[in-house]
């Protein structure tokens, strides 16, 4: 597996979505295969916090499967924790398994990811995620083969009051991820500066993960992120270091708050067909109920 370096001044394409739905459909047709395969689900992403940690590349490279090239920012590996709330789930087609998501009023999510390329396409590789339990049920973790754990997630992201705080725990475990930050209630969110760490980490519209030794991908479509830089205090991260001991070696270098979006289009999960020049869905590939942002 190789490493790809990102330097200041380089600009990525900000988003597969450029406003109108006609443009979205044209982009699907050109880059993502048949329109009827995309998207699977629409949801609101609200009040998102991004925490960015930098690591020596040699520490993170062994944690990423060989199907992916580690993407570096100014010679260092970036690993992010993202805390967000998802609401208002609705399917894009009437007869779809995604219709079951209408029953979920709110889904809180914490995910751990780094940044990679697969067949030259930039994206985020997901190590693990923690999800709030739909309907309060004790559902099994790692259903559908994805690496996640159901837990207790309490987010108090209230920019109007100037306070952003949260705590994530697993049931029957003392470990937690706990944070707090303050934000100016009157500040306006802005697009990520070109070449910044914010652009490098936020402007990713393909998600990757590995399941049974095979690479999988999914896409998300929404406008470019608007964000505000914040200075959080991480009060406890034992929830993460217990599962990933190497995480304790990182240093927190940046964090951002984003108001989010009312409509995020989420594509179905599909196996990566490498060497084709495009990451296309494989006929008959499985779909996931829980998509990772």
Residues 62-108 have pLDDT tens digits of 999 999 999 999 999 999 999 999 988 787 655 555 445 555 668 89
pLDDT of residue 205: 93
What tokens does 88 get?
């208002």
The architecture CATH gives domain 3-17+42-271: Beta Barrel (2.40)
Nearest to 221, CA basis, from 265, 263, 269? 265
Contacts of 147 (CB under 8 A, 6+ apart): 126, 127, 128, 129, 209
**Long-range contacts, 91-97 (Cβ 8 Å, 24+):** 91/40, 91/41, 91/42, 92/39, 92/40, 92/41, 92/42, 92/265, 96/40, 97/287, 97/289
pLDDT of residue 270: 82
What's the whole-model pTM score? 0.81
Angle at Cα 245 formed by Cα 80 and Cα 62, nearest 5°? 75
Nearest to 44, CA basis, from 186, 192, 206, 220? 220
What's the Cα-to-Cα distance from 200 to each of 3, 14, 82, 197, rounded to whole Å? 15, 10, 14, 5
User: Is 202:50 a contact under the CB 8 Å cutoff?
Assistant: yes
pLDDT of residue 282: 40
DSSP collapsed to 3 states, 163-206: EEEEEEEECCCCCEEEEEEECCCCCCCEECCCCCHHHHHHCCCE
Regions of the chain with pLDDT less than 70? 1-38, 92-105, 134-146, 274-293
- Give start and end residues of each alpha helix (H) in the chain: 21-31, 57-60, 197-202, 238-243
CA–CA gap between residue 32 and residue 25 (Å, rounded):
10
Give domain limits for the chain: 3-17+42-271
Nearest to 166, CA basis, from 148, 146, 151? 151
Residues 210-225 have pLDDT tens digits of 988 889 998 888 999 9
User: Is 111:178 a contact under the CB 8 Å cutoff?
Assistant: no
Other C-beta atoms closer than 10 Å to the C-beta of 284 total 7
What's the Cα-to-Cα distance from 37 to each of 95, 97, 266, 270, 282, rounded to whole Å? 13, 13, 11, 10, 10
């Amino acid at each position: 597996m190789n490493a790809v370096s990102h330097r200041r001044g380089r600009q990525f394409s900000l988003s597969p979505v450029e406003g109108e739905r006609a443009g979205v459909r044209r982009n699907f047709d050109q880059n993502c295969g048949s329109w009827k395969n995309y998207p699977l689900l629409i949801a609101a992403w609200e009040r998102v916090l991004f925490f960015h940690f930098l690591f020596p590349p040699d520490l993170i490279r062994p944690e990423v499967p060989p199907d992916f090239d580690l993407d570096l920012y100014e010679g260092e590996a970036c690993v992010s924790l993202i805390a967000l709330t998802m609401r208002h789930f609705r399917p894009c087609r009437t007869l779809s398994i995604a219709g079951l998501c209408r029953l979920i009023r709110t889904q809180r999510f914490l995910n751990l990811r780094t940044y990679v390329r697969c067949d030259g396409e930039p994206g985020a590789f997901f190590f693990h995620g923690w999800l709030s339990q739909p309907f309060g049920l004790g559902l099994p973790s790692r259903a559908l083969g994805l690496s996640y754990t159901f837990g207790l997630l309490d987010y108090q992201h209230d920019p109007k009051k100037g306070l952003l705080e949260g705590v994530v725990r697993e049931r029957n475990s003392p470990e937690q991820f706990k944070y707090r930050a303050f934000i100016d209630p009157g500040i306006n969110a802005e697009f990520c500066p070109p070449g910044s760490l914010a652009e490098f980490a936020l402007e990713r519209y393909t998600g990757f993960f590995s399941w049974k030794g095979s690479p999988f991908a999914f896409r998300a479509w929404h406008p470019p992120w608007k964000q505000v830089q914040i200075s959080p205090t991480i009060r406890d991260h034992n929830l993460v270091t217990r599962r990933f001991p190497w995480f304790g070696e990182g240093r927190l270098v940046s964090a951002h708050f984003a108001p989010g979006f009312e409509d995020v289009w989420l594509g179905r999960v599909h196996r990566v067909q490498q060497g084709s020049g495009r990451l296309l869905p494989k006929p008959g590939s499985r779909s996931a109920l829980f998509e990772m942002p």
